[in-house]
RNA sequence: GGUCUGUUCAUCUAAGGGUUAGGAUUCAAGAUUUUCAUUCUUGCCAUAGGGGUUCGAAUCCCCUACAGACUACCA
């Protein structure tokens, strides 16, 4: 840090829908940076576009950050010394700042209608050019720079819809050091006179963002790369307001790209390839469409965060598993890369497995219980704990406990065809019946107590171990998977074990 | 089209002029598990291309190619 002050950073999403994992990573990096330097992380809701407001989106953002363990120091829910934290509630503030820019000659009124501007864009496009509202064109357009005073007064009073545009200076080179990208520069001739204040009385992103970052004493702006092109405008705004001295430092994060193909990661990719792009499931209030979420798909927040942290950042060591505390400890902006990273759903899976086996059996059982309940099953907690301990090594997701261990809670409903044709041959049903009989004679019903005499029996009868074990497994779980067979016997109990064998013998047809 | 940004194994990445270019994921093979998964071992695989600068370049410079972002009264 150049200054000694504790950094203040903000995550400033628009409540236009669920938070995307790209946005989540931006929030994460802001949070890690702030906490690493002992600073504050603020949440500001940028809801200046009323037409795009989606109910529930703000609550979603809060819930997602909570789930991920990203703690907000100041925000609409938490409050703080710089409230309010919703731009819609700060509406009254912005007009004065727009006026300030007009008075200082840095901005002007513009009266062009959308239709007029569209026409200009269209005709420029036909000539293979791009229409830009700037120093070269603004004198030929309807604005306070091209009008006489009386025309202006008339236009202002006749209630015509107007906007305020920034007066982009001519041929000025704007230079700045981006903490991630280094020195970057732009020539203002390539930029346009952006609208700062809309005809509906709301500021645009650019004005609101700069004003609020200044007022909220933000020291570092860490945002996605898509904002890099508007950095010169923002810098010029700070200058125009006379806030250059306290201007925040900028960092533009590389984007998260599609796993395959071109472009940045989108909701569509997740739908097509079968992985979530949102931390939490989301139901679109208009269409009713449901998008899956990491939480509902059985991912653990620590794993998601860990995976996200390594997308575009690395610690410079070979460590890969990081708790949030360790991330805070190791994070630094100068180890953030410049190029976009492809999202890899496979690696996300691997991370999740790492965290799944780290969790205690009790914790995992607690997470799995709601899933069991959603299936209408009432299972003693102790049993769930035991099952989790037995199957967690073979799971990638919390939900997978069911796939890997459903047979602890209910009889198999079908038998794997491949296993049947491979194992269920002549003589096997009889063999199973003898085993069922034998189980009835076992004294102490526990895995080790069953195993020993069972092995003796198999040897005595001269049976093939592979056939016996696999056929028995088929009877008990319905296929060729699951933990130790005697553990299964112990847990489901003698009665159920015998019953399952009987049922299999009755149902499965012997194959040639 | 214009502006800006970027380019190391299939993927995430390390190597701040000198290493057989390292690790992780995926994939493949073997071992373990009388099942499946896990785990372990081994293997495959990269400096976009072309010019410079230098004793020496993944690293510095230039060109080309490719990729991405932006180009709204959206953020």
Q: Number of C-alpha atoms within 13 angstroms, CB side, residue A255?
A: 12
The answer to whether A222 CB sits below 7 Å from nucleic acid chain B is no
Question: So what's the pLDDT on residue A4?
Answer: 61
* C-alpha torsion sign, points A374, A376, A382, A388: negative
Other CB atoms closer than 10 Å to residue A478's CB: what's the count? 21
Q: Is 80 exceeded by the pLDDT of residue A74?
A: yes
8 Å CB contact between A204 and A197: yes
Q: Is 70 exceeded by the pLDDT of residue A1?
A: no
**Phi/psi at A71 (5° precision):** -95, 135
Long-range contacts of A451-456 (CB under 8 A, 24+ apart): A451/A486, A454/A486
| Nucleotides on strand B lying under 7 Å from protein C-beta | 1-8, 11-15, 22-26, 34-39, 67-75
Of A92, A93, A69, A80, the C-alpha closest to A328 is: A69
Question: So what's the pLDDT on residue A2?
Answer: 46
pTM of the model: 0.93
Q: Is 70 exceeded by the pLDDT of residue A179?
A: yes
**What would the pLDDT profile of A8-31 be if each residue is shown by its tens digit?**
999 999 999 999 999 999 999 999
The answer to whether A317 CB sits below 7 Å from nucleic acid chain B is no
Tokens, residue A389: 């301990």
Task: Give the whole-angstrom CA distance, residue A239 versus residue A233.
Answer: 10
- The answer to which of A57-61, A121-125, A247-251 has the lowest mean pLDDT is A121-125
8 Å CB contact between A468 and A458: yes
CA A103 → C1' B34, Å?
Answer: 86
The answer to whether A192 CB sits below 7 Å from nucleic acid chain B is yes
CA A110 → C1' B23, Å?
Answer: 57
**What would the pLDDT profile of A265-280 be if each residue is shown by its tens digit?**
988 888 888 899 999 9
Considering all nucleic acid strands, name the nucleotide whose C1' atom is nearest to the C-alpha of residue A458: B34
The answer to whether A394 CB sits below 7 Å from nucleic acid chain B is yes
8 Å CB contact between A61 and A29: no
Coil, helix or strand at residue A197 = strand
CA A339 → C1' B48, Å?
Answer: 15
The answer to whether A154 CB sits below 7 Å from nucleic acid chain B is no
Q: Is 50 exceeded by the pLDDT of residue A503?
A: yes
Which residues 63-102 in chain A have a CB closer than 7 A to strand B?
A: none
Question: So what's the pLDDT on residue A43?
Answer: 98
The answer to whether A462 CB sits below 7 Å from nucleic acid chain B is no
Among all residues of A, which ones are annotated catalytic?
267
DSSP string, A413-462: SS--HHHHHHH--TTHHHHHHHHHHHHHH-SS-SHHHHHHHHHHHHHHHT
Mean pLDDT across the stretch A357-371? 94
Tokens, residue A112: 């062009």
Task: Give the whole-angstrom CA distance, residue A396 versus residue A244.
Answer: 50
**What would the pLDDT profile of A413-450 be if each residue is shown by its tens digit?**
899 988 888 888 888 999 999 999 999 988 889 999 99
Question: So what's the pLDDT on residue A512?
Answer: 57
Mean pLDDT across the stretch A33-49? 97
Q: Is 80 exceeded by the pLDDT of residue A404?
A: yes
Tokens, residue A210: 């700069």
Q: How far is CA A294 from CA A67, A164, A348, in A?
A: 10, 42, 10
Task: Give the whole-angstrom CA distance, residue A253 versus residue A223.
Answer: 6
């Amino acid at each position: 840090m150049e200054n000694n002050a504790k950094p203040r950073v903000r995550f400033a999403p628009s409540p236009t829908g669920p938070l995307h994992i790209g946005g989540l990573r931006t929030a994460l990096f802001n949070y890690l940076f702030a906490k690493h330097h002992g600073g504050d992380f603020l949440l500001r809701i940028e809801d200046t576009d009323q037409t795009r407001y989606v109910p529930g989106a703000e609550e979603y953002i809060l819930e997602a950050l909570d789930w991920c363990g990203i703690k907000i120091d100041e925000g609409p829910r938490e409050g703080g010394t710089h409230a309010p934290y919703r731009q819609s509630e700060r509406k009254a503030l912005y007009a004065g700042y727009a006026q300030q820019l007009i008075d200082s000659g840095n901005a002007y009124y513009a009266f062009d209608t959308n239709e007029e501007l569209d026409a200009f864009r269209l005709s420029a496009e036909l000539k293979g050019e791009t229409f830009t509202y700037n120093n070269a064109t603004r004198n030929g357009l309807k604005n306070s720079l091209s009008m006489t005073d009386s025309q202006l007064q008339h236009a202002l009073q006749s209630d015509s819809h107007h906007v305020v545009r920034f007066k982009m200076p001519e041929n000025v080179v704007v230079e700045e050091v981006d903490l991630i990208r280094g020195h970057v520069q732009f020539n203002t001739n390539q930029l346009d006179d952006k609208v700062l204040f809309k005809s509906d009385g709301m500021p645009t992103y650019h004005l609101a963002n700069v004003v609020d970052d200044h007022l909220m004493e933000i020291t570092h702006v860490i945002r996605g790369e898509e904002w890099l092109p508007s950095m010169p405008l923002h810098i010029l705004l700070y200058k125009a307001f006379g806030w250059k001295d306290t201007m925040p430092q900028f960092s533009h994060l590389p984007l998260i790209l599609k796993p395959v193909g071109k472009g940045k990661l989108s909701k569509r990719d997740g739908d097509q390839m079968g992985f979530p792009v949102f931390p939490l499931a989301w139901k679109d209030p208009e269409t009713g469409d449901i998008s899956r979420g990491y939480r509902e798909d059985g991912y653990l927040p620590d794993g998601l965060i860990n995976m996200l942290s390594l997308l575009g950042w690395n610690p410079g060591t070979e460590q890969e598993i990081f708790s949030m505390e360790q991330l805070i400890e190791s994070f630094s902006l100068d180890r953030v890369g410049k190029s976009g990273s492809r999202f890899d759903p496979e690696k996300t899976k691997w991370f999740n497995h790492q965290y799944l086996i780290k969790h205690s059996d009790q914790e995992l059982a607690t997470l799995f219980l709601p899933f069991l309940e959603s299936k209408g099953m009432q299972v003693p907690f102790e049993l769930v704990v035991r099952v989790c301990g037995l199957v967690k090594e073979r799971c990638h997701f919390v939900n997978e406990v069911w796939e890997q261990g459903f047979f602890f809670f209910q009889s198999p409903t079908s038998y794997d065809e491949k296993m049947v044709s491979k194992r269920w041959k002549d003589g096997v049903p009889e063999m199973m019946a003898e085993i069922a009989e034998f189980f009835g004679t076992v004294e102490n019903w526990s895995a080790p107590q069953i195993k020993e005499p069972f092995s003796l029996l198999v040897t005595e009868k001269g049976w093939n171990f592979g056939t016996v074990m696999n056929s028995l497994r088929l009877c008990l779980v319905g296929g060729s998977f699951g933990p130790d067979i005697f553990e299964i016997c112990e847990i489901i109990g003698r009665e159920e074990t015998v019953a399952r064998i009987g049922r299999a013998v009755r149902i499965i047809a012997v194959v040639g």
